[in-house]
Amino acid sequence: MCGIVGYVGKRNAAEILIDGLKRLEYRGYDSAGLALKTDKGLLILKEVGKVADLERMLQDRAPVSNQGIGHTRWATHGGVTLANAHPHKDGSGRFAIVHNGIIENFMDLKEELERDGVVFISETDTEAIVHLIARFYSETGDILATLVALQKKLRGSFALAMIQQDFPDRIYCVRKGSPLVIGSGNGESFCASDVPAFLPYTRNIQYLDEGDIAEISLQGIKIWDENGEPSEKPVVTVDWDVTMTEKSGFSHYMLKEIHEQGMVLRSTLKGRTADGRISIDQELGWDAETVSRWDKIHIVACGTSYYASLVAERVLEKWTDFDIKVDVASEYRYRHIRCDSSTLAIFVSQSGETADTIAAQRKARSEGAHCMAITNVRGSTLAREVHSVMLLKAGPEIGVAATKTFTGQMAALFLVALQLGRLRGTLSPEEEERLINEFLQIPYKVELLLEREQEIRGLAMNYADKSNFLFIGRGISFPIALEGALKLKEISYIHAEAYAAGEMKHGPIALLEPEVPVVAVIPRDGLYEKTLSNIQEAKARNAPLIAICTEGDTHIAKYVQAVVEIPWTDEEFTPFLTVVPLQFLAFHIALLKGKEIDQPRNLAKSVTVE
């Protein structure tokens, strides 16, 4: 968690850094700070709260500086206080650093430094790093040697940006275990935790590898590996543009991102099917021989990405003949699930930086699995470590609660399932063509649903005062119930549970009463009648019912207080549609309750610590 940014150039660094921090605020928003290089030395400015609070404080004070580093914090070591806010300085005040990650041997380092007389003024692990830098630099007089020695001393994950009062026009960065990208413009250079931070200024990116050290300066970029050997990194031009990181007239990023889902599906499908056939052979590099080596599929993810994986599990079961296991990364990495060279292990992560998902991938890889990533971020740690990658074409997602990337992940996983079904011979060409034809209709059907936002807003007004919700669904609709409940609790702080509808009788039915609405995801599919029975059980306990059902379902209205109809589609594709009303429901309930929708309390978009 935490976002870091650095700038060296000719423009007003404070403005660029604040702008960059706002674009990184999805990574944490407990406190924010800058270190600016001025004629009088380093100026450190910090504020508890959001980047906007820091910006307000800067209005009358920021000196003109063309070089600096910035940080937005999600607290790990030490509470949310001014002293713990980054940047942190060494005792002499000549070095300042910002840090994303966790230093695991921080207590040992702190004790060692304190024995040498160093005085700590914060509770952070970061402060130990800056004191170590100052110590190594005073011993070697060489910054590269200092940063090489520093890496050998630190255990844990870190992305650092460092500024030194006496170094002319340059910032140093180190990346190990936490994301850091470098951007080069015309006579100016940037570093940041994520590309959107500097997207208004450059799209030319260099991705650092584990252990890399970079110098960003007016003259350009220099990169070394962890041993201090020069390292060449290709400059990649990203296809994101700055409008993708703006709200474009919407009140919230989340709302904008919900409305982008038709477009996301269209771009994720584009060029990946041709004439009714799946066409991703080259992208994945698999052929019939490759997939004949596998008999198991593991899908591993966290949060919303896990729910997209649960949807995919049901589709893979239907279209292929593999043994399939789906698990959350924080469990998978510590379990003893059989994993070997006959396993295709798919890791699903919007950011490609979730610590547990990365660790799970490393475990599966070490056991011989073929590892694949499905991610939205090219150049992310996960994307760079696996054997095969499929990128979502969702554009940057800024709202902390994932919406459009959930849809994009399901689409990417469906493409993989179609490809596996074809290569294994478990899907006939006719069936493949029929499925692809329907898949290509889904973006239009999603857009039809998006037009019904006001209807769902009306529904939200009737239920926003409730304190508990139950979401139910069966089969492929069960993960959608889970996702609907997650969205509601994340952004409105209402307690919401999701159950496989058939499990309701084994516990949650005891909670039902007129104050507990039940949201039933019940499209017309093979399990319709079964879910309908569960709805009747809930009705008999006087729970108010909302049904997400298929258009033309006149039957269900007899049992429920409210219906939201989705366009007709095949059973497999219903999740792309049933999830949309649930996203709107969560959004509008949170809006009515006056919550901070894009930045819910205690959450961060990218969880880079275990």
Q: Which residues bind ligand G6P (CB under 6 A)?
A: 302-305, 349-351, 354, 357, 400-402, 603, 605-607
Strand pairing partners for 366? none
Smallest separation, CB 76 to ligand G6P (Å): 15
Complex with ligand G6P: residue 453 or 490, whichever CB lies closer? 490
Smallest separation, CB 280 to ligand G6P (Å): 21
| Number of neighbours of residue 85 by Cβ within 10 angstroms | 26
325 is a catalytic site residue: no
Which residue shows structure tokens 């949170």? 590
Complex with ligand G6P: residue 124 or 349, whichever CB lies closer? 349
Q: Which has the closest alpha carbon to 352: 364, 341, 361, 344? A: 361
Complex with ligand G6P: residue 221 or 300, whichever CB lies closer? 300
Smallest separation, CB 601 to ligand G6P (Å): 12
Residue 33 to residue 441: CA distance in whole angstroms? 47
Smallest separation, CB 342 to ligand G6P (Å): 26
The number of angstroms, rounded, from the C-alpha of 389 to the middle of its chain's C-alpha atoms is: 16
Smallest separation, CB 374 to ligand G6P (Å): 9
Q: Which has the closest alpha carbon to 548: 448, 477, 465? A: 477
Strand pairing partners for 343? 296
Q: What are phi and psi of 113, to 5 degrees?
A: -70, -40
Complex with ligand G6P: residue 304 or 550, whichever CB lies closer? 304
Query: Out of 2, 173, 302, 339, which one is annotated catalytic?
Result: 2
Query: Out of 50, 445, 595, 605, which one is annotated catalytic?
Result: 605
E strands, 430-574, are 468-473, 495-500, 518-522, 545-550, 562-566
Residue 441 to residue 434: CA distance in whole angstroms? 11
539 is a catalytic site residue: no
Complex with ligand G6P: residue 304 or 320, whichever CB lies closer? 304
- Which residue number is nearest to ligand G6P in terms of Cβ? 303
Residue 282 to residue 264: CA distance in whole angstroms? 22
User: Side chain identity at 270, as an amino acid letter?
Assistant: K
The contacts of residue 131 (CB under 8 Å, 6+ apart) are 90, 91, 113, 118, 120
Residue 542 to residue 555: CA distance in whole angstroms? 19
Instruction: Give me Rg for the CA atoms of the chain.
Output: 25
Complex with ligand G6P: residue 47 or 483, whichever CB lies closer? 483
Smallest separation, CB 598 to ligand G6P (Å): 11
Q: Which residues are catalytic?
A: 2, 605
